[in-house]
Amino acid sequence: MTDLLTAAQMRALEQAAIASGRVTGLELMERAGRGVVEAIFQEWPALRATSHRAVVLCGPGNNGGDGFVVARLLREWGWDVAVFLHGTPDRLPPDARANYDRWRAIGAVAPLDTLDWPLLRRTDITIDALFGIGLQRPLAAGLWGALEMAKEAGTRLVAIDLPSGLCAWSGRMLVEGIGPDHPADLTVTFHSRKPGHLLAEGSARCGRLVVAPIGLETTADHLSRDEAAWSPIEETAVDPGALAKGAGHKFTHGHALILSGPPGHGGAARLSARGSLRIGAGLVTLGCPPDALPETAARLDAVMLRPIADADALARVLEDRRINALCLGPGLGTTAREAALVATALQAARPLVLDADALTLLSQRPDLFSALHGGCVLTPHAGEFARLFPDISERLAAPMTGGPAFSKVDATREAAARAGCVVLFKGADTVIAAPSGRCALNAAAYDRAAPWLATAGSGDVLAGFLCGLMARGFPPFDAACTAAWLHVEAARSFGPGLIAEDLPEELPKVFRALGV
């Protein structure tokens, strides 16, 4: 997995590089500007061939300094460049002021409030260098209004580091009023993606996202900071070697038990069971009420079937210690019978996925919530999360007054610490957190976008993937990260027209692509 860096962590890396004498702040700013120009030419190759017009909007910090570098480089390329500054040059940081002076030797700088529509209509590219990853206060309406005017004029909008107003930590917009409607066409960030590029509104605001290298260390290992202060956020990935199966028999690869609901409600659990089997569990058993046996048996082949009438019957089934992972919730029901099943599953102290109806029961029964243990994984979507953790959800939905804003990462970490187990908070920006604070982000965004995952039953398949991996011996956090990653990859591999039944059947193709 690779780490996402917060604004503070990025600044720490830059300062460490400068303090070591390997590079100066001016050199880093020059590299950043060159990275932006190169990204523009790669995105729109026709702009490299001949001269064009650019408007560069510079802010009062180092993001503005990057903008002055971009302006100078485009002018050297032969472009007609107009530069506008929010604020006064005497307020610029030293490196930004140095690049302001270099630009002023070849071009003018106008106040931002003099930017007008006719100029933008004649412009090919507008560079948003107003505010980057360090923004901590709402962007005034006059500032985001300039960006909105640029988009409405038909110019391409390129953001440096982040679209101005986007919180680098939460992916939410820090703006006064309703905020801008138009996203950037291209965002160029440096060294590493930031959480705000992937969370909440981030991917919708950034357009295409490019990470430009600026020669910093690839890890934070050399920084003199304690581990808790660093607390990286990982981007999910998979280890093909861990997914590969070694020699053995079916029980070598685990036995997953999925519990189903009453007649007419078994489809969700069947999806989970199919997902568990396809992801590599050696055996998968579907346990259902006796009166649901005929319906369920007609739809199963490789998945085994057991009648489980009540909690006592489940306890007897679990006397078989070869059953080493359970999944409860999809289509389960929320009556006293199902609450007793959840309690028995928790008492068994085996790896346990709790989804859907099981989450509803946890939200209604404090005694069940208090029985959660470190082998559990909760997989709520936003509505289920709000029922389980109403106070945390309320903070996440509250209007922002400054940054860094309370984020989905914060919310998931707090939820995992409270529950004492792994929480997988679903969405296009899925966040996975452990009670220790370890955290990963699985974003279906940019080149991994998979909007067709928003279909009935896809979450049931994800629960099955997760249960199957835990049956195979994956620790809960690793299983959650791997399941979420494969879930998106299966959707991307299949493409438009996806329904939930397609996800397990696409896994072999994904595995082959990984070399498993």
Buried b (16+ CB within 10 A) or exposed e, 360-387: bbbbeeeebbebbebbbbbbbbeebbbe
Question: CA–CA distance from 96 to each of 61, 66, 137 (Å)?
Answer: 7, 7, 20
- DSSP summary character for residue 166: B
Beta bridge partners of 255: 283, 323
Question: CA–CA distance from 190 to each of 127, 216, 389 (Å)?
Answer: 16, 9, 35
Of 55, 66, 54, which Cα lies nearest the Cα of 28? 66
Mention every residue, 6+ apart, whose C-beta is less than 8 A from residue 27. none
515 is in an annotated binding site: no
42 is in an annotated binding site: no
164 is in an annotated binding site: yes
Phi and psi of 274, rounded to 5°? -65, -40
Q: How far is CA 369 from the centre of its chain?
A: 26
User: 158: which 2 tokens?
Assistant: 């390129």
d(CA 60, CA 84): 11
CB 280 within 8 A of CB 302: no
185 is in an annotated binding site: no
460 is in an annotated binding site: yes
Strands 53-58 vs 80-85: parallel, antiparallel or unpaired:
parallel
Strand intervals (E) in 30-96: 53-58, 80-85
Q: Cα torsion for 484, 356, 397, 414, to the nearest 10°?
A: -70
248 is in an annotated binding site: no
346 is in an annotated binding site: no
Residue 433, exposed/middle/buried by CB under 10 A (0-12, 13-18, 19+)? buried
39 is in an annotated binding site: no
d(CA 265, CA 449): 31
275 is in an annotated binding site: no
161 is in an annotated binding site: yes
136 is in an annotated binding site: yes
Angle subtended by helix axes 94-104 and 62-76, to nearest 10: 30
Residue 222, exposed/middle/buried by CB under 10 A (0-12, 13-18, 19+)? exposed
d(CA 307, CA 285): 10
d(CA 430, CA 203): 13
320 is in an annotated binding site: no
428 is in an annotated binding site: yes
Q: Where are the alpha helices (DSSP H) in 105-201?
A: 117-121, 141-152, 195-198
132 is in an annotated binding site: yes
d(CA 506, CA 211): 30
d(CA 462, CA 337): 25
440 is in an annotated binding site: no
Give the SS3 label for residue 81. strand
User: 487: which 2 tokens?
Assistant: 């879930």
312 is in an annotated binding site: no
Q: Tokens 């002018």: give the residue.
A: 75
156 is in an annotated binding site: no
367 is in an annotated binding site: no
403 is in an annotated binding site: no
374 is in an annotated binding site: no
Angle (CA) 136 141 144, round 5° = 75
64 is in an annotated binding site: yes
430 is in an annotated binding site: yes
182 is in an annotated binding site: no
User: 375: which 2 tokens?
Assistant: 């082998």
Annotated binding site for K(+): 63, 128, 164
Annotated binding site for AMP: 426-430, 459
Annotated binding site: 62-66, 128, 132-138, 161, 164, 268, 331, 381, 426-430, 459-460
Annotated binding site for (6S)-NADPHX: 62-66, 132-138, 161, 268, 331, 381, 460
